Each structure stands twice: as structure tokens, then as C-alpha cells.
Amino acid sequence: MLQITEIPVPGYESVRRGIDKDRGLHAIIAVHSTILGPALGGMRLWPYRSEEEALYDVLRLSKGMTYKAACAGLNLGGGKSVVIADPAHKCKELFQAVGEFVDSFGGKYTTAEDVNTNTEDMEIVSSRTRYVAGLKGRSGNPSPYTAHGCFVGLKATLEEVFGSSDLQGKTVAIEGGAGSVAGYYAELIVQAGGKVILADIKDKEVRARAHKLGGSVVPPSEVFKQACDVYAPCALGGTLNAETIPQLRCKAVTGAANNQLREPADGERLRARGILYAPDYVVNAGGLINVSGEVGQSYDEKRSLAMMDKIYVNLKEIYAIAKKDGIPTSAAADRFAERRLDAARAAVKAKASA
């Protein structure tokens, strides 16, 4: 039997724990904000060491989704779900229970695939709730679109650093190189004339991909130390921190991972080293933009791709804010997002007092 309990967290609209021992479910769904619209965010399945670790992750991820949607100009809020489980033990019953958990939010939160979940899993979830996006026959797998958005962001970043978006002769070191998004991202880079250095804990898979793309492979512990033009974190978050930033040998950071900075001070650490950081929730918004095309409208790929082009424009404005105000690009991105969130809050307040 599914048991749902509320977890009080200041600054979040709703955080709930869902447990169903019979079906192996232990999950947390966090809705950070719906000021711009219903929350949309993927479902991550991971063998977290504790519920505390899972809660920390889902809170950071859901807040990031609020800012991602705000920067992308979407009328959506921020939410996320994490399932504490071994990916090897996925089963139909587990995702049916997840679907019932998602449905308990009554449309305040819509889920989609994320780390260790896919369109097949979402099909099962959809048997218990209609609040699922990214299904087959609609927007589908978000990975190629996330990669496309990152590539758009990469070109804006290269232009800012080198005066040209040309990738010819440029080298990008990709952490998480065996992943789905990283694979599409690496292909786009190589097709444009760039070179890739790949790293991943999945050694066999990453070597096969590097061979296919004419790239090289380094251990995950060495990827951020590589001499390259761009470092691209495309695995889990927190790889930009007080330990790794001093060892970076790149001019810029543009990757697909969420929550790349371990702490806010890491943005200033990058700025102090003269490394241009493309804020993660701005450049990795392609998947969200694409799947948002299902919410309240008929899906249209051309429309979604056109919206992703705005990532370039948004990044250039964020870089301009950072220069003008003398702040890290991470702080500039927050300001960029908060302008829209503040405007939405003011509109709600004005309507309530009218």
C-alpha cells in the first residue's frame, strides 16, 4: 500500500515521501515553485546511500528546474522526483507505484524521464497517471534535445571566449562520455570539426564511443585536468568545486549535468581563474523545452527547436550581466531568472489585491 507523507521544507511548495514496501518504492517528489505554471521535471532513479542524500538531491534539482524554466521563458514551474533504487531492479510494479505517487499531486507536478529512467518506464507510469511527458509518439527521448541545447550554448560560449563559434580545432573534455546526452553532444561537436576527450565509469562503452568518434579516453578522475578548450560535465553534479577548479586547464565550461557547482562560491572560483562558466540550467534546458511542447498543446518539434535557439540569446545576455555587474555568470543567471519570477509574483499579488 502506498503511504505518502509531507516533508516540511522552507521555500518549497510541497515535498513528499512515497513508500510502498510491497512494490519496492521509496521515493521523494519535490515541487519548488508553480508561480509560472505547473511543475515539470524528470524522474531520477539512483541507489542513494540514504534518504538524506536523496532529499538533498531532489531539493537542488527541483529548484534548478524552476530557474531553468524561468530562463527558458516557459510557463512552467520547478519539480523533480527521485526514486531510491538499484537500476538493475527496475520492474513494472515499481513504476506503477510511482505513477500513483505522481498522481497524488493532482496535476501540480508532471514527470518525465531522467537518469536511469526511459520512455518505456514512463509508459508504465502513465498507466497510473496522466501527468507524464516524454512518451513515445510525442516528444519522446529528451536526450538529443538536451544535447542540441548544450551545443547551442557551446557556440555562444566559444564566441564569447574566442571571438568565434567555430569548433574547428577545438577540444572538449566530456565527463560522463558514455551517457545518452553526452553521446549526442559529442557527435555534434565532432561533426562541427571539434575533438573530444571522453571519461566515464563505464569503460567498455566509453571506449567504443571514443573509437567511433575518433576521440580519446581518460579516467573519470583525470578528465577535469585535461588541457582542452572546454570542459563539459555531463554526469552527476558537484564536479566543479574547491578541489577540481584549481586543476582545470580549460577556457570555458559548458556541459549538460545539473547542479555542476558544489556550492555558490564555486562560481566566483571559476571567475577568478578566468574560466567562463555557462550556467548549467541555462544550457541544458533543451530537453525541458522539448518536453514542454506536450503540456497543454500538441507537440511540434520545429517549434521546440526554434525555442532552443533562444539559449544562445539568453547566454549572451547573462554574460553581459556578469561583465557589467562584476559577478560570476552563475549569479548573473540567477538574476536573469529571478527577474521573471519576481514579475510573476508581483502579478499574482496585484491580482489578489485588486
Question: Residue 131 corresponds to which cell in the numbers above?
Answer: 501527468
**Whole-angstrom distance, CA of residue 32 vs CA of residue 12:** 4
**Is 4 buried (19+), middle (13-18) or exposed (0-12) by CB count in 10 A?**
middle
351 is catalytic: no
Catalytic residue of the set 63, 68, 80, 195 = 80
**Whole-angstrom distance, CA of residue 19 vs CA of residue 96:** 12
**Is 116 buried (19+), middle (13-18) or exposed (0-12) by CB count in 10 A?**
middle
Distance of alpha carbon 147 from the chain centroid: 11
| DSSP state string for 73-131 | T-S-EEEEEEEES-GGG--HHHHHHHHHHHHTTTTSEEB-B-TT--HHHHHHHTTT-S-
* Contact (CB, 8 A) for 100 and 129: yes
Distances in whole angstroms, Cα of residue 178 to Cα of each of 203, 283, 301, 310: 8, 20, 26, 28
Catalogue the active-site residues: 80
